[in-house]
A and B are shown apart, each in its own frame.
Chain A
Amino acid sequence: MTFERSWGALAIGAAGLVVLVAGGAILFRGFSPDEGALRPAANGEPSPDTPEGDPTGAEYWRYCSIDGYLASQCGGTVSSCPPGTLMSPISWIGTCRNPQDGKDYIVSYNDCCGKGPCGGVFVHRNEGDKPVYYAQKSNDVGWCMGPADAVYNSTVSVVIGVADGPDH
Chain B
Amino acid sequence: MTKVVWLNHIVRMNNIRRCGRGRALLLALVLSAAASAATGGVPIETPGRVAVLERAFAPHWVWVADASGPRLALVDLDEGKLLGQISTGWGMPDLAIARTRPELYVPETYFSRGTRGTRTDVATVYDARSLVPVSEVLLPPKRAINPLPTGNAALSDDDRFLAIFNMTPATSLSIVDVESRSLVGEVSTPGCSLVYPVGARRFATLCADGGLLVIEIDDAGGVVGRIRSEPFFDPITDPVTEKAVRWRDRWIFVSFEGYAHPVDFSGPEPRFEPAWSLLDDGDREQGWRIGGAQHLALHAASGRLFSLVHQGGPDTHKDAGREVWVYDLSARKRVQRIALRNPGITWMGYPVALGSAWWDAFLLDHVLPTIGIDQIAVTQDDEPLLLTGAVYTGALCVYDAKTGELLRRVFTGNTSTQGFVVQPRRTRTARPVARP
A125–B115 CA distance with the chains assembled, in angstroms: 26
Q: Chain A, 134-164, contact with B by CB distance < 8 Å: what is the 0/1 string? A: 1100001110111001111000000000000
Chain A residue numbers with a CB within 8 Å of B116 are 114-115, 150-151
B148 touches which of A130, A132, A151, A167 (Cβ 8 Å): A132
Which residues 226-258 of B sit at the A interface, judged by CB distance below 8 A?
235-236, 239-242
Q: Determine the main DSSP class of B at the interface with A.
A: loop
B91 within 8 A of A: yes
Contact status A133-B315, CB under 8 Å = no
Interface centre among A116, A133, A146, A167 (most CB of B within 10 A): A133
Number of A residues whose C-beta is below 8 Å from B?
Answer: 27
> What is the size category of the interface that chain B forms with chain A?
35 or more
Chain A residue numbers with a CB within 8 Å of B371 are none
A135–B208 CA distance with the chains assembled, in angstroms: 8
Q: How far is the CB of B232 from chain A (nearest CB, A)?
A: 13
Chain A residue numbers with a CB within 8 Å of B193 are 132-133, 135
Chain A residue numbers with a CB within 8 Å of B390 are none
A132 touches which of B91, B146, B236 (Cβ 8 Å): B146
Chain B residue numbers with a CB within 8 Å of A134 are 208, 235, 239
Q: Determine the main DSSP class of A at the interface with B.
A: loop
B355 within 8 A of A: no
Contact status A133-B194, CB under 8 Å = yes
What 5 pairs between A and B have smallest CB-CB spacing?
A142-B145, A151-B115, A133-B193, A133-B206, A150-B116
- Pull 16 A–B residue pairs with CB atoms less than 8 Å apart, ordered by A: A114-B116, A115-B116, A125-B315, A126-B315, A130-B235, A131-B206, A133-B193, A133-B208, A133-B242, A140-B147, A140-B148, A144-B145, A145-B168, A145-B169, A150-B115, A151-B116
Residues of B at the A interface (CB closer than 8 Å) are 90-91, 111, 114-117, 119, 141-142, 144-148, 151, 167-169, 192-194, 205-208, 235-236, 239-242, 315-318
